[in-house]
Amino acid sequence: MTLTPNFRLGPSPLALAIFEASLKRCEARPDFLDVFYENFLASSPEVAEKFAGTDFARQKEALRASFHHLLLVARNPKQGPDPYLGEIAVRHGAGHLAIGAHLYDLWLDSLLETVRACDPESSQEVETAWEEVMMVGIHYLCTNYEGRHGR
C-alpha cells in the first residue's frame, strides 16, 4: 500500500482516515501538545526565540484547532484554503512572524517525533499520513510567505 503525496488531489481518503484516527489517539493524551512544544522549542534556539513571549495555553488551543481545520481543508482540496488559513499565513509571513521555510522542517520533524511518542499505534504509515495532511498547511503557508495578491 502506498500513500503517495499529491498536492493537487490532496491526501488520499485512506491517509485522511489514518490521520484522523491517530489524531484522536494523540489527543487522548492530555500532554500531547506539551510534548510537541517541548520537542519543537528544543529543536533550535531560533524556534525558542520566536515563542519567547507566547501564552502557551492559548497557543496550544490554536494549534489543536489547526489540526482539525487542516483535516477539513485536506478533505476538500477543490475548495481551496479559506480565510482562516489565509489569516494564519499572513501572521506567519514576512511582514509579521517571518517564519522561514527551514523552520517548517523542524516543525514537522518535531510533530512526527511527538506522534511516535504519543500514539501507541504509530507506524510508518501513520507518520506518512500526518506528513501528507500537514504538508497541505505547510505548502500553503510557505507559498504565501511574501503575502498574497490583493493584500
Catalog residues that contact ligand HEM under the rule CB under 6 A. Answer: 47, 50-51, 53-54, 59, 62-63, 66, 88, 91-92, 97, 99, 103-104, 107, 134, 137-138, 141
Q: How far is the CB of 117 from ligand HEM (least distance, A)?
A: 19
Q: How far is the CB of 136 from ligand HEM (least distance, A)?
A: 8
Say how many Å lie between the first and final Cα of the chain, rounded: 42
Minimum CB distance to ligand HEM smaller for 42 or for 121 = 42
Q: What is the DSSP letter of 4?
A: -
Minimum CB distance to ligand HEM smaller for 110 or for 122 = 110
d(CA 53, CA 16): 34
Q: How far is the CB of 61 from ligand HEM (least distance, A)?
A: 9
Q: How far is the CB of 1 from ligand HEM (least distance, A)?
A: 26
Minimum CB distance to ligand HEM smaller for 63 or for 71 = 63
Minimum CB distance to ligand HEM smaller for 53 or for 120 = 53
